[in-house]
């Protein structure tokens, strides 16, 4: 069984049941499955074959769902890409990912055009109508990629309803998720049909999701958290998605009330904004049907968790995952004690344990690296055998996160072994931002850290040594904005005379953090 086959099975069983609501309109499982079949057939008619890579540059919409499952039904490999990425970031993923076709919103045509000369392997741009006034000003016929453009509606209309896709092997790569690497270049985690199907089924079962549930899908669909918890799991369990094009507290309150939502999944930042909206237009009664809230992407402050639960009278279950594990490995259980500050216990069919530097399991209470094993663990990084070998050892995925386990099997993340910064649930690796800063001619050296932020959990702060005192923070922020997604751009830029280093010249982040903290204390 795989995601596409299970969707088809559910559509045959309950063809009239709503699979999702979008902009107030329902789409039944039968309608969705028919669209998926036709889109798969339409892709085949364009020359897309089993094993080809298809990128999705889309926001939350039916376009994403149909494109994802249509490509999977054809046996193609899907590469979801954050549409907020800069042209440079998108170009790298499309090139490294050997992409043959791109499904994109019309609003992103200028980005595609800017990158086109670097992407000769792309044969088709399948364009989705955003219905946004900004798109009306884009003259598609004047773009160099115009000859490769096809409207999404045409591809869909050209497909056959009697199309039968190829037999899919459970170990075939279904999705490649690019994660920011510590080297500054993203790595493509190859997730198989088995990885994705097993994690969606097991996560849905662990959360007791069923056909009566209506899940608010406000997390970005290209992100693995949403992909499994708020998209694949609901469809695998016969539930209904309530698709939000974007996260807006008012829109989420409205959606919860109008569609009687039962589950909300989000990152801590979202919970913070929803809580702040109460009294400013948000009525907690709008959430009266919500039985469960799921949090992930970053640790939720215990105070926020308690305040949200008390205000909305609903349980918040924190979990843990990573792209390389499809992503879920732990959740706080629903049938026994929920421990604030914990990521919970291992979900069914997945093992987690804490080990020392020799890979030996540590007793409860001791801190070590969290490692994971199960049917959800990726097959490896795309075209990176050495990185794969360093990350997966004897079937265990080494997460790079430091954790401890208590006597009852609950895990706690203590710190990140890597220097990742999490901004509103999005991962930002310092090296990635530093490389952009180093490209600026006015910088001698730079280091990036994450600092606590009341709205987004963490904020990116850059510490730079300039060549000239004339260099301004505004100039550097504008430079970064031209090469990085908005959430990766440093919120603050501080100028220093020098950065702390060891004897080999390596910049010491820990010493820098201490130096900054000491300076703040003495102000």
Better-predicted residue by pLDDT, 217 or 180: 217
Query: Measuring CA to CA, which residue among 227, 248, 242, 223 is closest to residue 83?
Result: 223
Check whether 178 has a pLDDT greater than 90. Answer: yes
**Burial of 365 from C-beta contacts in 10 A (0-12 / 13-18 / 19+):** exposed
CATH 3.40.50.980 placement within the chain: 3-168
- All CATH 3.30.300.30 domain ranges of the chain, comma separated, are 421-522
pLDDT score for 182: 45
What topology is assigned to 194-416 in CATH? Rossmann fold (3.40.50)
Judge residue 279's burial from the number of C-beta atoms within 10 Å of its C-beta, 0-12 exposed, 13-18 middle, 19 or more buried: exposed
DSSP per position, 328-393: EEEE--SSS---TT--BEEPTT-EEEEE-TTSPBPPTT--EEEEEESTTS-SEETT-HHHHHHHEE
92 pLDDT higher than 70: yes
Q: Which CATH architecture has domain 3-168?
A: 3-Layer(aba) Sandwich (3.40)
Residue extent(s) of CATH 3.40.50.12780 domains in the chain? 194-416
Q: Calculate mean pLDDT across residues 422-441.
A: 87
Name the band, by pLDDT with cuts 50, 70 and 90, for residue 523.
low
State what percent of residues in the chain have pLDDT above 90. Answer: 76
Among 354, 472, 454, 499, which residue's Cα sits nearest to residue 413?
Answer: 354
Q: Which residue, among 163, 149, 67, 59, has the nearest Cα to 112 in the 3D structure?
A: 149
Q: Rounded distance, CA 292 to CA 283, Å?
A: 17
Class of domain 421-522: alpha beta
pLDDT above 70: residue 518: yes
> Is the separation of the CB atoms in 89 and 485 below 8 Å?
yes
Q: For 148, which DSSP code? A: G
Cis peptide before 327 (omega within 30 of 0): yes
* Mean predicted lDDT score pLDDT of the chain: 93
Residue that wins the pLDDT comparison between 38 and 272: 38
**pLDDT mean over 14-24:** 97
Q: Which pLDDT belongs to residue 184?
A: 58
Using the predicted structure, report yes or no on whether residue 457 has a pLDDT greater than 80.
Answer: yes
> Cα(36)–Cα(44) distance, rounded to whole angstroms?
12
Task: Please check the confidence at residue 428 and state whether its pLDDT lies above 90.
Answer: no
Confidence class for position 212, pLDDT limits 50, 70, 90: very high
pTM confidence score: 0.89
Q: 116 pairs with which residues across the strands?
A: none
pLDDT tens, position by position, 148-175: 999 999 999 999 999 999 999 999 999 9
């Amino acid at each position: 069984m795989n995601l596409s086959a299970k969707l088809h099975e559910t559509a045959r069983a309950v063809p009239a049941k709503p699979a999702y609501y979008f902009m107030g309109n329902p789409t039944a499982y039968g309608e969705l499955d028919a669209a998926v079949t036709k889109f798969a057939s339409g892709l085949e008619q364009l020359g897309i074959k089993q094993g080809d890579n298809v990128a999705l540059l889309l926001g939350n919409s039916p376009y994403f769902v149909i494109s994802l499952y249509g490509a999977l039904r054809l046996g193609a490999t899907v590469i979801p890409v954050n549409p907020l990425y800069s042209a440079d970031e998108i170009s790298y993923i499309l090139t490294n990912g050997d992409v043959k076709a791109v499904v994109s919103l019309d609003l992103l045509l200028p980005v595609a055009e800017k990158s086109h000369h670097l992407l000769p392997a792309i044969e088709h741009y399948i364009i989705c109508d955003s219905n946004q006034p900004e798109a009306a000003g884009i003259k598609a016929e004047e773009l160099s990629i115009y000859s490769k453009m096809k409207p999404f509606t045409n591809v869909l209309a050209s497909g056959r309803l009697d199309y039968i896709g190829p037999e899919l092997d459970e170990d075939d790569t279904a999705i490649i998720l690019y994660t920011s690497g510590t080297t500054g270049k993203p790595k493509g985690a190859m997730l198989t049909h088995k990885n994705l199907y097993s994690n969606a089924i097991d996560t849905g079962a662990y959360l007791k999701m069923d056909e009566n549930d209506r899940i608010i899908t406000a997390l970005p669909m290209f992100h693995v958290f949403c992909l499994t918890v708020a998209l694949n799991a609901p469809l695998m369990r016969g539930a209904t998605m309530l698709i939000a094009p974007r996260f807006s507290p008012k829109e989420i309150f409205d959606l919860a009330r109008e569609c009687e939502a039962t589950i909300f999944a989000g990152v801590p930042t979202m919970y913070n904004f929803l809580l702040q909206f109460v009294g400013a237009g948000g009525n907690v009664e709008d959430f009266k049907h919500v039985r469960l809230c799921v949090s992930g992407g970053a640790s939720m402050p215990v105070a926020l968790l308690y305040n949200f639960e008390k205000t909305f009278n609903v349980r918040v279950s924190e979990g843990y995952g990573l792209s390389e594990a499809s992503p879920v490995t732990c959740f706080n259980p629903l049938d026994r004690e929920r421990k604030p500050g914990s990521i919970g216990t291992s979900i069914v069919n997945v093992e987690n344990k804490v080990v020392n530097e020799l890979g030996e399991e540590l007793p409860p209470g001791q801190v070590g690296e969290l490692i994971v094993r199960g049917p959800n663990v990726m097959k490896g990084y795309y075209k990176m055998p050495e990185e794969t070998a360093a990350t997966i050892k004897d079937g265990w995925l080494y997460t790079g996160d430091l954790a401890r386990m208590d006597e009852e099997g609950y895990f706690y993340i203590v710190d990140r072994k890597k220097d990742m910064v999490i901004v509103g649930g999005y991962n930002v690796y310092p090296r990635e931002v530093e490389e952009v800063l180093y490209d600026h001619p006015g910088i001698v050296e730079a280091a990036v850290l994450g600092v606590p932020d009341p709205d987004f959990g963490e904020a990116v702060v850059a510490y730079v040594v300039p060549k000239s005192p004339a260099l301004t923070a505004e100039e550097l922020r504008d430079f970064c904005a031209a090469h990085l997604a908005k959430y990766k751009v440093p919120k603050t830029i501080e100028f220093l005379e020098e950065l702390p280093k060891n004897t080999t010249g390596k910049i010491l982040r820990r010493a820098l953090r201490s130096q900054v903290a000491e300076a703040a204390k003495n102000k």
